A and B are shown apart, each in its own frame.
Chain A
Amino acid sequence: MTATEALLQLTRDGLFCPAGRFWIDPWRPVERAVLTHAHADHARPGSERYLAAAEGELVLRRRLGPEARIEAVPYGAEVDRDGVRVSLHPAGHVLGSAQVRLEHRGQVCVVSGDYKAAADPTCAVFEPVACHHFVTESTFGLPVFRWPETAEVVDELHAWWRGNQEQGKASLLYAYALGKAQRLLASIDPSIGPIWTHGAVENLVEDYRGAGVPLPPTRRVSEAPDGTDWSRALVVAPPSAHATPWMRRFGALSTAFASGWMALRGTRRRRSVDRGFVLSDHADWGALIGAIEQTGAQRVWVTHGYREPLVRWLEEAGLEARAIAARFESEGDDR
């Protein structure tokens, strides 16, 4: 077994650092957990202690509950765990998302969690961290995924909103409640019309504001008085609200979904929304390859997504690459 493998192992509860006796994003409750971010497939409740980035403490607490013991550290600060030096570095995925850097006896491992390279006004930008061994996601690990400029997508979104207003239709925009929704809110022009939110989105909007992220004024749909005119409104809701009685109140409306999956016509049509906006909080193919190169790592573990193609690509580029299992695997339509 080589030195970095000793530093990081895949166990039945997820990635484990034996020297430091802690798990990273464990799949089941453990004694000591280090978390990359607050999405449900990474932050599972029930562990005794958590280490996470200070920037995301509020949103994480909403996921883990008020009782959870969370040690929140600033990006870049080093923590010692039984001789393993642990530090967290921005992953650019959502507020408080972190890459976990482990250093032990001169060997450096980085577990990226989910990440993106594009700028996002609601979280710290991705920081490349040099290492020997890099663990990367691969949600969009195929070259067909190539994100357009965010500004272009936001322009399209504005045009869609204004177009709906002209036709007297409400604009119902589906976005993942943690991260994507706030990124959209921070990117759009609030002078176009009133902005309303679904409760699941608004709770996290409050946490973001609490963490000091400026967001435009929003109002909860559930608090709208009877007879509210929705025809000029933008309503931001989680995808699970689609085709439920909840959306009936808006009358005439146009629906849209903001996700990296909207890059594919098939997923766009299957969602049966009127519009798809290609906006992802994950790295596209080019950004994945770029990020892996920048680390200088010789060993790469690939999880979560199109693992096999990315592994083969890296092997053909001369790296030692391996696909590792992710516990919570799905098509991931909501990302």
Chain B
Amino acid sequence: MKAFAALYNRLDSTTKTNEKVAAMADYFERARPADAAWALWFLSGGRPKRLIASGRLRQWAAVAAGIPDWLFEECYDAVGDLAETIALLVPAAPQPNEDPLHLWVEERLLGLRALEEDELRERLLAAWAELDRRQLFVWNKLITGALRVGVSKRLAVRALASVARVDAATLTHRLAGNWRPTAAAYEALFSADTSDADLSRPYPFFLAHPLEGEPAALGAHDDWQAEWKWDGIRAQVVRRGGRVFLWSRGEELVTESFPEVAESARLLPDGCVIDGELMAWKDGGPLPFAVLQRRLGRKKPGPKILADAPAALVAYDLLEWRGEDYRSRPLGERRSRLTGLLDSLPATDRVLASPVVAAADWAELEAARLAARERSAEGLMLKRLSSAYGVGRRRGDWWKWKLDPFTLDAVLIYAQRGHGRRASLYTDYTFGVWHEGKLVPIAKAYSGLTDAEIRRVDRFVRRHTTDRFGPVRAVEPELVFEIAFEGIRESKRHKSGIALRFPRMARWRDDKKPKEADTLDAARALLQAPAPARDEGR
């Protein structure tokens, strides 16, 4: 526990990715396999099922700290993180317990599950009494869920790869599925024979840059292939050795989460890798991203969700064919292979080719782009027909030509403190638009302002509070912000009757008075709009 707490502290004291990876590598280098296995599991985002209700935890922490509940809540409100609040309040052990991580997890943490309340309380108070302040914080993080220390499975794997001398893709393969954090399983990760993983290995994704300026600058339009830019999850399907592997761009193996796609992919011939987009897809067309979202994070989707939110792989590119790496061949050739291949398959609508958008000139493409939203696409992709499938994000051959977001001017009406690095500052805002002389809440937004702007808004909130509802402050309607968002739909769950997708603050309109903000009618008009209004003199 001590070494893991020290690792956490190191990870927490730097924002630099390389230093985080180095800290984890140092830990893996020294840790015993039984402890390293759990460390890897937690660092990769593993979390125990909820052990203790937050309300109970708060009550007991207040008891341990010897303060009334209301004062605990005040502290929690100021700190913004439950694990940290508890660690700052309960007395720390002068002589902390020296047990290794795996004992703390296996005997103490997992032992908390399914205990009666009295017993649970006693064990928890006993655990707190044995830890120093740094360990208290990490222990509380472990029992409350996420570590939130700016590392991901990808970074943990990268650190482990440098220690294990096994490449990251192999480790990812070995960690996929239901990996159990035991000493034996950890040691098996180090095996030098990588043939187990070679079969599943995807190619690095090739990414596009946003197009700035006019497309005509790219030259003749017929040197380019235009496709819809779908709003889903970029993925690769790998068909080798009689098996199917579905990888998401986050370098996660998601085969089991999308069984209908995997089943269709089994129809592909062996030795073939396809790049595409995982989408919610029904009756030959895309469903909104919100539908796909319901599939995310589900390891084994049930029949109901499979029927309500069916997924498909919409294919962009062919990376491997008959076991041969096709990436250096020109896109035109890869594309005709891909369509030929998919056309030859028995009927399936779970793996299908993303259509090419045909046009006589750039103007037609521009028109197609503006109509993208009707197809639930975010815009167009432009790919040079002669281009190879590269590595990473390189300028020149692939461009994303997205639609501008929708925007509305709205007034700040409520504010709430943020969490994590924004705890204690008012950073979470609710915005309203005018309707019958009143401001109706239309969106919540947290991002888009600079730190300096956040501090200014925070000061405004503190000085212009008109009412408080728990942690929420109502403020005088004075500040106007331009809210940008990607989509808008009807919603019965929202007071305004509409819901915005990805709202964020595009600009602080300190040139505008609250009366000049938009109305609900103006927002509703966007429900019908196929494309965002452009170039209104901005």
Contacts and interface: CB of A to CB of B under 8 A. Distances in A.
Chain A bound to chain B: yes
Nearest to A333: B455
B80 interface: yes
Interface stretch (B299-307, B421-429, B515-523): B421-429
B420 A269 contact: yes
A292 to B, nearest CB: 16
A270 B425 contact: yes
Interface stretch (B46-54, B65-73, B284-292): B65-73
B208 interface: no
A330 B459 contact: yes
B436 interface: no
Q: Which of A143, A267, A308 has the most CB of B within 10 A?
A: A143
A266 B88 contact: no
B12 interface: yes
Interface string B1-40: 0000000000011110000000000000000000000000
B212 interface: no
B455 A331 contact: yes
Interface string B193-235: 0000000000000000000000000000000000000000000
Interface string B61-96: 000010110110011001111001100110000000
Interface string B88-121: 1100000000000000000000000000000000
B451 A270 contact: yes
B462 interface: yes
B284 to A, nearest CB: 48
B458 A331 contact: yes
A208 B68 CA distance: 43
B75 A266 contact: no
B424 A265 contact: no
Contact of A331 (B12, B85, B89, B424): B424
Nearest to A243: B451
Contacts of B12: 265, 269
B493 interface: no
B438 interface: no
A267 B458 CA distance: 14
B165 interface: no
Given A265-B81, A316-B68, A331-B455, A142 B74 contact: yes
A308 B73 CA distance: 13
Contacts of A275: 13
A146 B87 CA distance: 12
Contacts of A316: 68
A142 B75 contact: yes
B16 to A, nearest CB: 9
B492 interface: no
Interface residues of B, number: 33
Contacts of A267: 423-424
Contact of B75 (A143, A274, A308, A329): A143
B421 A144 contact: no
B71 A266 contact: no
A274 B13 CA distance: 6
Contacts of B85: 144
B421 A266 contact: yes
A313 B71 contact: yes
A144 B79 contact: yes
B495 interface: no
A312 interface: yes
Interface string B453-482: 001001100110000000000000000000
A144 B424 contact: no
Contacts of B65: 143
A143 B67 contact: yes
A330 B459 CA distance: 6
Given A143-B67, A270-B421, A331-B458, A263 B15 contact: no
B14 A270 contact: no
A264 B451 CA distance: 17
A190 interface: no
A330 B451 CA distance: 15
Contact of A263 (B88, B462, B463): B88
A266 B420 contact: yes
Contacts of B68: 316
Nearest to A264: B79
Contacts of A265: 12, 81, 84, 421, 423
Q: Which of A267, A272, A275, A316 has the most CB of B within 10 A?
A: A267
A272 B15 CA distance: 8
A250 interface: no
A143 B89 contact: yes
Given A144-B85, A274-B13, A266 B80 contact: yes
Contacts of A312: 70-71
Contacts of B74: 142, 306, 308-309
Nearest to B12: A265
Interface in A309-328: 309, 312-313, 316
Contact of B424 (A264, A274, A313): A264
Interface string B424-442: 1100000000000000000
Given A143-B75, A144-B78, A264-B79, A331 B425 contact: yes
Contacts of A266: 79-81, 418-424
Interface of A: 142-144, 146, 263-267, 269-270, 272, 274-275, 306, 308-309, 312-313, 316, 329-331
Given A269-B15, A272-B15, 9 more contacts: A264-B79, A266-B421, A266-B423, A267-B424, A306-B74, A309-B74, A329-B463, A330-B459, A331-B458
27 contacts: A142-B74, A142-B75, A143-B65, A143-B71, A143-B88, A144-B78, A144-B79, A263-B88, A264-B78, A264-B424, A266-B79, A266-B80, A266-B81, A266-B419, A266-B420, A267-B424, A269-B15, A269-B420, A269-B421, A270-B451, A308-B74, A313-B71, A316-B68, A329-B462, A330-B462, A331-B458, A331-B459
Interface of B: 12-15, 65, 67-68, 70-71, 74-75, 78-81, 84-85, 88-89, 418-425, 451, 455, 458-459, 462-463
- In the complex, the 7 A-B pairs of residues with the closest C-beta atoms, listed nearest first: A266-B423, A269-B421, A144-B88, A309-B74, A270-B421, A144-B75, A142-B75
